[in-house]
Amino acid sequence: MSGLFMYSNENNHAFIDGANLHKGIEELGWKLDYARFRRWLSEKYRITQAYIFIGFIPNNKDLYNFLRTTGFTLVFKETTCDHAGKIKGNCDADLVLRAAAEYYEKKFDNAVIVASDGDYAGLVNFLKARGVFRSLISPSNKCSFLLRKLNISIVYLDHKRSSLGYVQKEKAPGGDRTPRGSFS
């Protein structure tokens, strides 16, 4: 039996902090091609279910539809505004709860976490202790020390820029069809 055949039967889930992913890539000065990213998750980690935890903003329906068509499952969080009017949709607790619940319900073989936030260190330790943690994918080169000190596999997306970055194509008459929106 080949190793590839054994891996092809894996049922791995990715738990993605949408705002963390978007902001981390944006700070690095490039755009992630979400369709290529989803394929990469499937091919490299055998991800069958890729959840993006994201704040819901009604004006972003095109973005949400695009993400769904590329194979992501969206988990929405109600948004609020801070004192400066900035939209906030903190999804950390929802992501942790979903990952833990799915572990106990035996819905996946291994988990991949996409975030740079140290708030996920407890979840990573939980999954690691149970032998179901596969990798952390950090959207930022400023991954939290709380995650870096865990002695885990960390993939920095900036190292994947050439294969996962959005490639600007010549615009067809009628404009740019790039999905727009915020991941707050």
Tokens of 107: 């819905």
Cα–Cα dist 89/54, whole Å: 7
Torsion sign (Cα): 59, 62, 63, 69: positive
Tokens of 2: 């080949």
Q: What superfamily would CATH give domain 13-164?
A: 5'-nuclease (3.40.50.1010)
Burial class, 154, CB count within 10 angstroms (exposed 0-12 / middle 13-18 / buried 19+): middle
Residues in Cβ contact with 116 at an 8 Å cutoff, skipping those fewer than 6 apart: 20, 24, 138, 139, 140, 142, 143, 144, 147
pLDDT score, position 8: 63
Question: What dihedral angle (degrees, nearest 10) is formed by the CA atoms of 91, 97, 62, 114?
Answer: 80
pLDDT of 169 over the 90 cut? no
pLDDT score, position 141: 86
pLDDT of 182 over the 90 cut? no
Q: What is the pLDDT of residues 113-146, one digit of tens each?
A: 999 999 999 999 999 999 999 999 999 888 999 9
pLDDT score, position 88: 73
pLDDT score, position 87: 74
Q: What is the pLDDT of residues 85-113, one digit of tens each?
A: 777 767 899 999 999 999 999 999 999 99
Residue spans per domain, the chain: 13-164
Q: What is the pLDDT of residues 18-70, one digit of tens each?
A: 999 999 999 999 999 999 999 999 999 999 999 999 988 888 999 999 999 99
Cα–Cα dist 105/158, whole Å: 34
Among 7-16, 69-78, 104-113, 170-179, where is mean pLDDT lowest?
170-179
Q: Which residue has the higher pLDDT, 111 or 84?
A: 111
Q: Are strands 72-77 and 47-55 parallel, antiparallel or unpaired?
A: parallel
pLDDT score, position 178: 54
Cα–Cα dist 178/184, whole Å: 18
pLDDT band of 2, cuts 50, 70, 90? very low
CA atoms within 13 A on the CB side of 64: 14
